[in-house]
Amino acid sequence: MVDSLTNNRQIVLDTETTGLDPKSGHRIIEIGCVELSERRLTGNNLHRYVQPDRDIDPGAIAVHGITNEFLQDKPRFVEIIDQLQNYLKGAELIIHNADFDVGFLEHEFTLCNQPMVLSDVCKVTDTLAMARKQFPGQRNSLDALCKRLSVNNAHRTLHGALLDSEILADVYLVMTGGQTDLSLDQETATGDDAVDLAAMVDLDKLTLVTASEAEITAHEQWLERLRKAEDGCAWDRVV
């Protein structure tokens, strides 16, 4: 097991496959990874379609919409394995129903004669397990979590590894801390998401507003009434 990570990289990962069980010969056909650092999207994502050298189950096509014809000219897993393994090593992997994706990935690594146990080189966090603890007895699919946590997934009509990773990143950030970032420092944001919030504040126009004597007296009178109440004054416990 990985005792500690060498950096703060988190990789939100999802796969699409030809079917449900690698032991039955099913293969990965799409991998989508979204990188987070300090709870911010970095833009250093990884997305690959993969030729599985077998037909995709019709039921799987109905879920993700990826066809055999679409994958004909895509690279095989052995052609992307080095890039993928190097990208994942040392990061925390955030996966919804991690056993499924980890099982498929480790099966593909073995087929390429480069076996790798992901939990030996990464920390693996299962958001499905997290959701079951936070919301016991409720539906905890990605769509259900989006609805419960007010995460927009209106653009998701079919499953897709990269799209699902992007949505899961939003879900994970809400589940683990609500607002994703309160800092004015936006240096790590990229593209259309980059907003210089500090530049929007005109420091020369900021003024210090102090309470008047009458306002201070009224405030103290209100606190004194609270102190006489049964529960006491929470202000006193804070300060």
The question of whether 159 is a catalytic residue gets the answer yes
Q: Is residue 201 part of a domain?
A: no
Q: 37: buried, middle or exposed (CB in 10 Å: 19+, 13-18, 0-12)? A: middle
Task: Select from 30, 142, 134 the least CA-distant residue to 96.
Answer: 142
> Residue 222 sits in which domain range?
208-238
Of the listed 26, 107, 159, 219, which one is catalytic?
159
126-169 pLDDT, tens digit per residue, is 999 999 999 999 999 999 999 999 998 877 666 789 999 999 99
Distance CA 223, CA 217 (A): 10
Q: Half-sphere exposure of residue 165, counting CA atoms within 13 Å on the CB side?
A: 26
**What does pTM read for this prediction?**
0.72
Say yes or no: 35 and 149 in one domain.
yes
Say yes or no: 121 and 48 in one domain.
yes
15-34 pLDDT, tens digit per residue, is 999 999 999 999 999 999 99
Distance CA 125, CA 120 (A): 13
Contact 45, 35 (CB under 8 A): yes
25: CATH? 3.30.420.10
Q: Is residue 193 part of a domain?
A: no
Q: Is residue 61 part of a domain?
A: yes
Q: Do the bridges between strand 9-17 and strand 40-41 make them parallel or antiparallel, or are there none, so unpaired?
A: unpaired
SS3 164: helix
Question: Percentage of the chain with pLDDT > 90?
Answer: 67
Say yes or no: 111 and 215 in one domain.
no
Give pLDDT, residue 195: 46
Question: Percentage of the chain with pLDDT > 70?
Answer: 77
